[in-house]
Structure 1
């Protein structure tokens, strides 16, 4: 009995699938902005744009760290809890000024990221298990330090200016977001660290045999993820004027969604920092449009429906990504 080999995909189909993988999310964002501009009067106003950028800067920073983690083939489920803990630490230190609060919160979050990295790299515990344990530990620390209540930030020493201030109408937090992504893109494209990240995600054992510093790179990746989650926590506390120990629930899923929407493969070894930023903006724009629709009275969706929509959107994107990945292969 003979079997007929599967037909080869045509070069045109392969090229189309590759283009959709690279630029599909950017096209989707452009179409969504065009739709919003045509449908809503205040959609492209400076106020709405700055609000979207300021609010989504927290998710963007976490997604940036998650991009590097996923490119190694790992996952970090602790980022939401780490951000909540950082927000509490920042609020507690805010009476001493912005810089002590900023560095103290980021240092605490970086320490937790370091612990994640050391356990994953040297004790060989799966990232899912390690970061799940850290999720619970960080949440417990946040609740303990805050006595299970919001911690008011100090408004007299410039701390809240970080999350609420702007330069020329551009929020400080948006400047931090774009600056972080610019550094991330340069690091991935032009440094040995970026090449090592992709190599480890492609084949960790082969990377080790080639003499690449696998363990050190993995530790650095989770340190980076923790530090960026800590920075997101500082923004959370400074934007809302309080440390929020119960905030951050589901932030890790939002970050994963943005990374996957941007085209980074969950299996590792391939990804784009710039596309993750577009994915963050796309998700933020979707919920911004839903808010406009709520305001028009066209629909009436509670905040809980955002999680439902986010989950459904992530599932659809993963299915499309899987289809495009198959279509891009000869």
Structure 2
């Protein structure tokens, strides 16, 4: 038997295909390799633990955003809902673990339910509806905290703190919860009729209606899910910080949208993956960690550099995707 080797042109084509389809993942791997050798503290156990822990909170929010964007929608309220969930969780913790979890999930879920009903039943634009919800949730948050003057703290020794500060095999509990949710989200999106309806609505809502799919019911479920996950991220953050932080979540909706788009989900809807969003979260978290490792940038310029880098990644990814179609 004689071994066969791929021709140089075939090898070049395969490399191009990988870059086109997995551009963000390739950049993530290269970023990790560069950081490992360039920054002596990057590969330490403590830094890696902190890296995945910090990414887990955004990941939970971005998971819900992925479903919404694949359907052709947008949810601008998740940042404020995230902060509201944290404050409600800290407040509810004084009444026990169950209340600390249920109170924010129910309240945040109701906000998402109202979003979904307005968008699905009245055909209002998701941008307008969720922008109004952003203001409502932030206003409710300020009212509950007397415009930030009142801080709700979690009592030391509370069982609720384990959700944010507990570890399993040295890794924070929020990381395991985020991975579990992503696993369930992947099954829901790819292996259920609900997931297929999400893709169909994002591809063409009119066609989905003609196919007899439950478009309105699916939209209501999507926005409810997005707000519930944002509230849950707030629960985990409150347990981690041991208090409800009023200024939390400002701009988080933009972070969630950016990592979803970086992961390959189209803003126009109809295409996207859960694993792509996870890669996007990893890439954004890595970029921020690299900036922190440099340590010489003024805090005012760190966000500028992070945003510019993400923009470059998105542009490169779009160019690769366009070349794949041509």
8 Å contact 1:264–1:271 — kept in the other structure? yes
Structure 1 runs not aligned, ≥5 long: 1-10
Deviation at 1:20, TM superposition (A): 2.5
Matched with 2:128 is 129
RMSD: 1.9
Matched with 1:5 is none
Distance (whole Å) between structure 1 residues aligned to residue 12 and residue 323 of structure 2? 7
Bigger shift: residues 122-131 or 46-55: 46-55
Matched with 1:315 is 311
Question: Does 2:77 align with 1:78?
Answer: yes
TM-score when normalising by structure 1? 0.91
Matched with 2:236 is 235
8 Å contact 1:15–1:328 — kept in the other structure? no
Structure 2 runs not aligned, ≥5 long: 1-9
Aligned length: 316
Deviation at 1:236, TM superposition (A): 1.6
8 Å contact 1:29–1:278 — kept in the other structure? yes
8 Å contact 2:70–2:265 — kept in the other structure? yes
Q: 1:43 to 1:227 in 2, by over 3 A?
A: same
SS in structure 2 at match of 1:25:
helix
| 1:69-218 pair list within 5 angstroms | 69-149=68-148, 150-218=151-219
Q: Deviations over 1:89-124 (max 9, x none)?
A: 101111122222012111111111111111101111
TM-score when normalising by structure 2? 0.92
Distance (whole Å) between structure 2 residues aligned to residue 272 and residue 126 of structure 1? 24
8 Å contact 1:96–1:157 — kept in the other structure? no
Distance (whole Å) between structure 1 residues aligned to residue 96 and residue 196 of structure 2? 38
Deviation at 1:14, TM superposition (A): 8.7
Matched with 1:301 is 298
SS in structure 2 at match of 1:243:
coil
Distance (whole Å) between structure 1 residues aligned to residue 315 and residue 291 of structure 2? 23
Distance (whole Å) between structure 2 residues aligned to residue 269 and residue 86 of structure 1? 30
8 Å contact 2:284–2:310 — kept in the other structure? no
Q: 1:317 to 1:230 in 2, by over 3 A?
A: same
Question: After the TM superposition, which segments of 4 or more aligned residues of structure 1 sit over 4 Å from their partners?
Answer: 11-18
Matched with 2:5 is none
Q: Deviations over 1:121-144 (max 9, x none)?
A: 111110000000000000000111
8 Å contact 1:79–1:225 — kept in the other structure? yes
Bigger shift: residues 97-106 or 197-206: 97-106
SS in structure 2 at match of 1:68:
helix
